[in-house]
Amino acid sequence: MLANAFKDVKTRFCVVSFTSDWLFPTVESRAIVHALNATSARVSFAEIVTDKGHDAFLLDEPEFLTIVRAFLGSAGKARGLAGH
Amino acid sequence: MLYRQGNAVTSPDPARAANGVRVDHLLVADMVSPGSRVLDVGCGDGELLQLLERRGVDGRGIEISREGVNASVAKGLAVVQGDADTDLGDYPNDAFDYVVLTQTLQATRRPREVLEHMLRIGRHAIVSFPNFGHWSIRLGLLFGGKMPRTKNLPDTWYTTQNIHFCTIKDFRDLCGDVGAKMERAVAVNFWGKPLRLPAPWWFWNFFGEQAVFLLSRKDQ
């Protein structure tokens, strides 16, 4: 079971999927999120609407960038790093 | 709970305190002990979770609308996209100290099952909901003869997401049916002020515009 792989994990997770990504579709990302939830890991999950397909994560997707920035910022804050 | 109307997301506008914070959020935050783990079901844009995290709470959220999830994650909150009716079953027993549901119970398809899951996943459940027994709603139906619409519940019967309205008395009965222990209950009046007087249930049910309940399992 996937959830066993994440048992007692202290890592903070952020899973992001793109609606037009056929290589890693949202349903698979959601399975990872379910497994993380089942172990009470700290996980954020967002799906970004885009027509740029699998490479969307390399391109300028403002919503995606906002989420990554906020996630890294809050993770840094939680680990005692100064503001970003 | 956010409501979809086309692509735009609007939310009903429950009463707010002078500092702009929703009255039911303040009441919920006061019921949660600092340092605890909280799951907010239907967390919208993460307003309550942000308030809780500022008070040292380890918060997680589920939200049905993509816009709400993305807004929450953009605030650095741990929120996932999910549906209260179908996805609570994925959470293990006793995973949280509190499971919170604000202004969402009446929009679920199976309120009883949702409440039972909340009491299974969390040691406590906190529920806030609009009271359909409020005098303005009773008078609206009595004299207007139409499904009541108020400032806080502005939708028509055919556009509203609120498919399972209840009164404070109805909710109290449901708590009995699912074997929940009522630890605290607060009603909030038309002007967003908590009714702090010890009052009989009929009074709360008539003058409470919304209510917040803190529940736990009977076996604890």
Please tell me which of the candidates B58, B76, B87 has its beta carbon nearest to residue A71. B76
Domain count along chain A: 1
A68 touches chain B (CB under 8 A): no
Pair B104, B184: CB distance under 8 Å? no
In a domain? residue B13: no
Q: Which residue of B has its CA nearest to A73?
A: B76
Domain with A51 in it = 2-66+73-78
How far, in Å, CA of B49 to CA of B74, rounded?
Answer: 13
In a domain? residue B73: yes
In a domain? residue B198: yes
In a domain? residue A24: yes
In a domain? residue A32: yes
**Confidence category of residue B8, pLDDT binned at 50, 70, 90:** very low
A37: distance to nearest CA of chain B, Å? 6
Query: Dmax over Cα atoms in chain B, in whole Å?
Result: 49
Q: What's the 3-state SS for B99-120?
A: EEEECCHHHCCCHHHHHHHHHH
Q: Average pLDDT for residues A57-80, to the nearest whole number?
A: 88
Residues of A in contact with B68 (CB under 8 A): none
pTM of the model: 0.85
Taking each helix axis from N to C end, the angle separating B47-54 and B23-31, rounded to the nearest 10 degrees, works out to 40
B46: distance to nearest CA of chain A, Å? 12
Domain with B211 in it = 18-217
pLDDT in tens, B131-176: 999 999 999 999 999 988 888 888 999 999 889 999 999 999 999 9
pLDDT in tens, A22-38: 999 999 999 999 888 88
Interface contact A70-B80, CB threshold 8 A: no
Please tell me which of the candidates A30, A40, A67 has its beta carbon nearest to residue B73. A67
In a domain? residue B8: no
pLDDT at residue B195, rounded to an integer: 84
In a domain? residue B204: yes
Pair B111, B175: CB distance under 8 Å? no
Domain count along chain B: 1
pLDDT at residue B76, rounded to an integer: 85
In a domain? residue A36: yes
Probe site for chain B from A13, A40, A61, A71 (most B CB atoms < 10 A): A40
